[in-house]
Chain A
Amino acid sequence: MDDRHVDVPGAVPVEQVLRSDPLYRLLGGARLATPWVLGVVIGLIVVVAIVLGPSADSHFIYTDF
């Protein structure tokens, strides 16, 4: 008996549920999009951190005047 697959009466395949999700469709399928989306998200986080980050990370702070 194959214990990796269990038929549950009335169950909907995961793929079918995902394909009904607009974001999943927009991303072209999680398997294809994940590393690219992840990379873009990491890049954007770095950019936002640079722009919004505290100036304590700057070595040319000069506010004593």
Chain B
Amino acid sequence: MRFLRFLGTVAVATLLTLAAADAIARAAFPHLLRLERDFSATYLRRVLSADRNRRPIVVLGDSALWGYDIHADQVAASILMRRGWPIENLAYEGGSTANTYAMLRVLLHAGVRPRLLVFNVNLKEFSAGDSAYRTLHPTVERLVWPLLTPAERALLVPHVKQTLDAKIDRALGNVWFLYGIRSDLRDKLFGHTDMAHAIRAWTNGLSGERARLAVATAPTADRYLGTYDLAPLTRSNVEVVFLRKIVSVVERRHLPAIAILTPTNHTLLHEYIDSPAYQGQLAYVSAILRRAGIRVLDYDANFPARDFIDNDHLTPAGNATLAAMLERELPR
């Protein structure tokens, strides 16, 4: 009996400690400038809940608008936020039109009513060889799956695990905030997926490995051989299907929307994309968007090579230029 009382006291003390840590996490975890790389359903739900009443300008899209390889405060959307625009940047690394459609469905289902939707369309993602083709971010997949029709699901390759431990894991994350938000927390604290990755990055910096890796993976034209599939786009392309679905939702919900044709490094990719076939693809997606009254900002060839990190990711200076260009298009 005494031992049971001992165990009970230990359990109560443990639960009180976890509850206190959870309360601190709920109160202290900030509203981020952009989603973390491994953003969780817990964090996304919290953001959408906060956005329900403020009608933000919502930015959707891929790593080009998310801000690949630059700090969150250097991203065009963050620059506009600092200038007073009520922006919610829900773009993420690994995006695509399928992902944009899925995120749009999730945010509308959560009751968010954007005052303006800004999203990018990136032609490289229409290639079946792209890693994002037919693939949703696991968090978005998890939240949107019940909202999709069987036909829509059939177009995608699901990645969310359905094993018992994965289900327990998700259930735990749903009721325990600190546990649910752990991937965002680690990304925020360490700037990497977890502490182990942060330590490895630090030691790589000290040993010179990072510099060697940067030289070895420098963005040269040959790395992008096959990145863009310039076959004419048709309705059988999954990204085209989801682009049309975005357009359909925008029309049905009467959402003001701006589509950006993603800035692309034509100097680097000259031999692959400076062709009538590429221009034909741009014209094809632009026509789909314009038919629905969506404003198309063709920034495809608007940036010099010095504004790019690689094929389609802008430097901080490039993002500052993009922010200035976008600001002229936003309704006061």
User: Using a CB–CB distance below 8 Å, which chain A residues touch chain B?
Assistant: 34-40, 42-44, 46-47, 50-55, 57-65
Contacts and interface: CB of A to CB of B under 8 A. Distances in A.
A65 B159 CA distance: 15
Name the residue in B15, B17, B132, B169 with the highest tally of chain A Cβ atoms < 10 Å from its Cβ. Answer: B17
A54 B170 contact: no
B139 interface: yes
Contacts of A61: 38, 138, 183, 193
A64 B132 CA distance: 9
Contact of A43 (B14, B40, B160, B189): B14
B11 A39 contact: yes
A53 B14 CA distance: 19
A32 B183 CA distance: 37
Interface string B63-81: 1000000000000000000
Contacts of A57: 169
A65 B93 contact: yes
Given A39-B16, A47-B178, A55-B194, A60 B6 contact: no
A60 B194 contact: no
A63 B93 CA distance: 9
A37 to B, nearest CB: 8
A55 B13 contact: no
B179 interface: yes
B296 to A, nearest CB: 25
